[in-house]
Structure 1
Amino acid sequence: MATTAPPRIFSRDRRIAGLRRARIRQAHSDAARYILDDMVEDVLDRLEFIRLTPRRVLVIGDWTGTLALSLRGAGAQVEEHDAASLDEESPIDGAPYDLVVSLASLDRVNDLPGALLHMRNALAEEGLMIASIVGAGSLPQLRKAILAAEPDRPAARMHPLVDNQAASALLQRALFKRQVVDSHTLTVSFGSLARLVSDLRDQGLGSVLASAAPPLGKAALERAEMAFMKSANDKGRVLESFEILTLTGWKD
């Protein structure tokens, strides 16, 4: 029976290039890294709550190295990968793992059901998968600004994102047991649209759409900045939201 290939929404080459640029930008003392810091802290809290002490762990996407360092300190053998060294849409070598963690990565693959299935297959019996992504409730102020920049014929510039309901269905489709999807909101204040864009680039979270839109012109950028700053508070700061969606599933 013939299978249909998933649509090519994201470019893996652009993902890798963005991550490489983010690592260079992290050399600056004021570089942002709060998304991964939040995700790492959340994963460690979850492992402590369920009292899981895995022996073999695969960590995908944590370019800070913090999660691996903490797990190794607890005696785990940890392998670390990112989009450059591991293709999540292909079978994962080195299995079985007691724990597979993916951070800010799965929302940028074209075949998300397949990637989740590969992660499940990489688990040992009763192994645990935790995947944290930037969810559908994220960046409402940026989305308004982008729409205002090109009111007549807007180009595709922002990623389609996964919501709670879709994530639950994906875990079921990948045959995880005892699956749970939950979310929390991380709120960050910005003094300008440019600072928000810079923070996203610092963290490798810029656009990696396969069909890259042309750069915004000067007038469009001015419209975007004006729309963004319309929601500023009395201190001249715009509160932007990141919904951190966490998918958790056990194998058998």
Structure 2
Amino acid sequence: MPELFDPDLRQLRRDRAVRGGPVTFLHERAVEDLIDRLDMMMFDKHRALVVGLLSPELAKPFAERFDRLDIVDPSPVAAAASGGSCAGEPTLDVEPATYDAVIALGTLDTAEPLPETLLRLRLALKPDRPLVGVMPGGQSLARLANAMIEADRVSGVTSPHVHPRVDPPALTQLLASAGYAMPVVDIDRVSVRYGDLASLVADLRGMGTTNILRERSRRPIGKAAYKAAKFAFLSDADTDGRVTERFELLHFAGWNPASPV
């Protein structure tokens, strides 16, 4: 199956985000939820693996709960900033049954192939230990998607701009197919107010989540197309000139069974 995403560009996007000062308000919200989940789970918290970490600050709540924390990130800059190692999720070289928990912080939606990645993470877990994580959902950035459709209409060039996302039922099935017991997926919808398209794009760059699709257009967006996108983004703005964009976060969890699958 052809790859959807460009892994080299993915790394560069995350490198740039860290160097420029990462935008982590969604990550911080996700970490709060993950900590609540972990605190309710009964298991020995000796060693955990965190996959994807844009800022060392995000690791602190996990480090307070585990005796040892290992960090990996597809970006060498992000990995170095957190004292971790650089690795792509599908190629993680981890001894089986090493970790008491695996924590995936928002990168699995662009990890290919995802089914094999989920299986690799499960095998890294000790028996009866959890994977917990978060990834963007399919209802994210609808206003941006509509704005880019308008840009394509004006430019006459059709190009994919917004990443395809897995929906909650599909993610639940992927977890089950990878051998996780008791898979669960919850949805957290976050509304953010923006006064212009540029502010949203700046946030996405700071998160390292701008377009990394292989089939994206390499041509810069023209002035007329960008003007159309800006206008479409602010259509039906409120009286304060702002609009609401929505980010959908899929929180997921599953357990490596106590007995072999």
The two structures share one fold, judged by TM-score above 0.5? yes
Residue deviations 1:56-82, cap 9 Å, x none? 100011222234322222342000111
Task: Report the AA paired with residue 137 of structure 1.
Answer: Q
User: Structure 1 residues 52 and 224, CA, compared in 2 at 3 Å: closer, same or farther?
Assistant: farther
Q: Residues 122 and 231 (structure 1 numbering): CA distance in 2 closer, same or farther, change over 3 Å?
A: farther
Shift of 1:91: 4.5
The match for 2:170 is 166
| AA at the equivalent of 1:14 | L
Number of residue pairs the alignment of both structures matches: 243
Alignment counterpart, residue 208 of structure 1, candidates 200, 208, 212: 212
Pairwise CA distance, 1:168: 1.0
Match of 1:71 in 2: 62
C-alpha contact (below 8 Å) 2:145/2:161 kept by paired residues = no
| Aligned-partner SS, 2:128 | strand
Counterpart among 91, 98, 116 of residue 118 in structure 2:
116
The answer (yes or no) to whether the contact 1:99–1:129 under 8 Å persists in 2 is yes
Instruction: Quickly say closer, same or farther: Cα 1:75–1:247, change in 2 above 3 A.
Output: closer
The match for 2:161 is 157
Shift of 1:159: 0.5
1:164–1:245 contact (8 Å) kept in structure 2:
yes
Structure 1 gap ranges (5+):
1-5
CA displacement at 1:8 relative to structure 2? 0.8
What is the identity, as a one-letter code, of the residue corresponding to 1:97?
Answer: Y
- Separation of aligned partners in 2, 1:197 and 1:227: 14
Post-superposition offset of 1:238: 1.0
Q: What stretches of structure 2 of length at least 5 have no aligned partner?
A: 76-85
Question: Does 1:182 find its partner at 2:203?
Answer: no
Q: Which runs of 4+ in 1 moved over 6 A?
A: none
Q: Contact between 1:176 and 1:250, CA under 8 Å: does it hold in 2?
A: yes
Q: Measure the CA separation in 1 of the matches of 2:166 and 2:53.
A: 20
Distance, in Å, in 1 between the alignment partners of 2:210 and 2:3 is: 17
Query: 2:9 corresponds to which letter in structure 1?
Result: R
What SS does structure 2 have at the residue aligned with 1:123?
coil
Change (3 A) 1:32 1:103: same
Q: 1:97, 1:231 → 2: CA distance?
A: 49
1:14 aligns with 2:5: no
Helix, strand or coil: the match of 1:154? Answer: coil
Q: Does the alignment pair 1:81 with 2:72? A: yes
* Alpha-carbon spacing, 1:219–1:53, altered in 2? closer, same or farther (3 Å): farther
CA shift at 1:10, angstroms? 0.5
TM (norm. structure 1) is 0.92
CA distance in 1, matches of 2:139, 2:44: 32
User: Could you give the per-residue CA deviations for residues 70-119 of structure 1, whole angstroms, max 9, x where no partner exists?
Assistant: 22223420001111312211253144101001111000122011110111
Shift of residue 41 of structure 1? 1.1
> In 2, distance between residues paired with 1:47 and 1:74?
9
> For 1:17-57, what per-residue CA distance to the aligned partner results, in whole angstroms no more than 9, with x for missing partners?
0111001111xxxx632121111111111112335552110
The residue type equivalent to 2:200 in the other structure is: L
TM-score by length of 2: 0.88
User: 2:43·2:129 contact (CA, 8 Å) conserved in 1?
Assistant: no
Residue of structure 1 equivalent to 2:228: 223
